[in-house]
Structure 1
């Protein structure tokens, strides 16, 4: 054995002899403390690691997540309105703070009253007079050069002495005589026919009653003598189907054996057409009376009836 190795062993022996070995209980306690310290440190490190992962996951997912709606039935949070600040007047009169001051008349309960303009236009007013513009202007092709003449004449032919109770509801009636020519008749020739044209204003609801009474009068008088302008022959009266004029209309015809200017029979018939048209509380009547034995043409009476309705509607507005 070398000298250096012998010196090393000797130094170790001297050092070991100078130290006291710990008792077995102390060695066990030291080992337990070290084990507990290692377990605690490992648990703490694991908790820190798990917490970091959870926080990172929430941060990553928060950017793409959409807020979920509250569960059904959960009341939405409502903002609490601040208490009203008392006005100077309330402070002066002693009105309690927060109590609203009511001025004016409080609304009444019940069904509100409808006024014009709240639900639409006001109902049309019944006129009290008949102006000239209530009568239609002839088409240029029908003008004869004879001006219309206003006269206080009958608006309808007599129908077996019929009487109309609705006449009590008349506000005003105006009648004019109007000559016309057919479009194909040259200017300056004798007119082809004429009208007794009337416009009558009735009190509300009475115009409709007049048309009912007129229908009944026509049905009750199928024949009667001398209806057509001085012709003594018996005339036949017949109600015709009608529609498309105003709010309601009545059309009837009177057929009478034709006679010449000397009163001799011609073998033909004179045909008169009479149409009454209601527009609201106004009734216009076109009674075609012919001209020196001519007969009415339905197409011309229809055209002039439409003009008569347009004139009344423009007037009533």
Structure 2
């Protein structure tokens, strides 16, 4: 402390409160105590802050032990754990060979037989159930309904004779595209539609197949007719196609050396069977492309009717 301070202090005391001021040593001791107190309070405050931070951190981590900080918004996330549907594995087939030349398996081929989209069984047969010839095949003679047989003779068998509900038969002459006007027709269909009870239509076609197989030959007048089943698929739910061949006879009933061919196709659509039997015209043979085309038209007409 400066030596002048005691003197200055005494002069100040004489000019102020007559009760006097504290001695310089007392003032110094008081100042030292305040400094120590302030330091102690600062240390306590710092310790309290550190302790509170530690307790708060422990509380946060205890409350959310599984909390993790995710990646930035623009960083790719982890792969999803959801199962990803895989492409279907093709079913092998023994008909094809793999890379090493060994037989590998492929999916089974789809049958050409289609299932009818309708299960409705009608009880009557309108005219609209019968197909219409294409314009190029029209003869202008129209068609006529009657009570004729729906199938040719097959060694006395009667396929599809039982279980019928309703049946209609018509005759329909046709000409081939390009045949000049005024010429005779190129063929004549005996076209029938038969409604069967449930299950009997399929049985009728089975009976027809058996009848053709069991009758490979038969006498027709003075000649012999040969019957044979032919491939037929893609018509209705199922179909049967067979041919009848016999020697062609002239006007004197003598063989000419040629053969006369007749085609007959029966088609099932649900509980309905339609038969196209081409009987020719004056000894002409059945043109298969025309019979195939008209078979498709017959199926379309029946499906439209059954909708």
- 2:150 touches 2:191 (CA, 8 Å); kept in 1? yes
TM-superposed deviation, 1:182: 1.3
TM-superposed deviation, 1:297: 0.9
Counterpart CA distance in 2 for 1:194 and 1:305 is: 14
- 2:248 touches 2:258 (CA, 8 Å); kept in 1? yes
Counterpart CA distance in 2 for 1:237 and 1:256 is: 9
Of 268, 274, 285, the residue aligned with 1:295 is 285
The residue correspondences of 1:92-111 to structure 2 (distance < 5 A) are none
Of 118, 129, 132, the residue aligned with 2:127 is 132
Counterpart CA distance in 2 for 1:129 and 1:311 is: 15
Ranked by relative contact order (alpha carbons within 8 Å, sequence separation 6 or more), the top structure is 2
- 1:201 touches 1:281 (CA, 8 Å); kept in 2? yes
Tell me the residue number matched to 1:198: 192
Match status 1:146 vs 2:107:
no
Tell me the residue number matched to 2:89: none
Of 173, 176, 183, the residue aligned with 1:179 is 173
- 2:230 touches 2:242 (CA, 8 Å); kept in 1? yes
Distance change (3 Å), C-alpha of 1:123 and 1:138: closer
Deviating 4+ runs (over 6 angstroms) = 26-29, 47-50
Tell me the residue number matched to 1:306: 296
Tell me the residue number matched to 2:17: none
Counterpart CA distance in 2 for 1:307 and 1:41 is: 109
Of 253, 256, 259, the residue aligned with 1:269 is 259
Specify every segment of 5 or more residues in structure 1 that has no aligned partner in the other structure, as ranges: 55-67, 73-121
The residue correspondences of 1:45-194 to structure 2 (distance < 5 A) are 124-164=119-159, 166-194=160-188
TM-superposed deviation, 1:267: 1.4
Tell me the residue number matched to 2:91: none
Q: TM-score, normalised by structure 1?
A: 0.65
Deviation readout 1:5-48 (Å, 9 max, x if unpaired): 9xx79x88xx9xxx9x99x9x99985774344222443477589
Size of the alignment, in residue pairs?
234
- 2:243 touches 2:262 (CA, 8 Å); kept in 1? yes
Deviation readout 1:107-158 (Å, 9 max, x if unpaired): xxxxxxxxxxxxxxx9631111111011010111111121200011100001
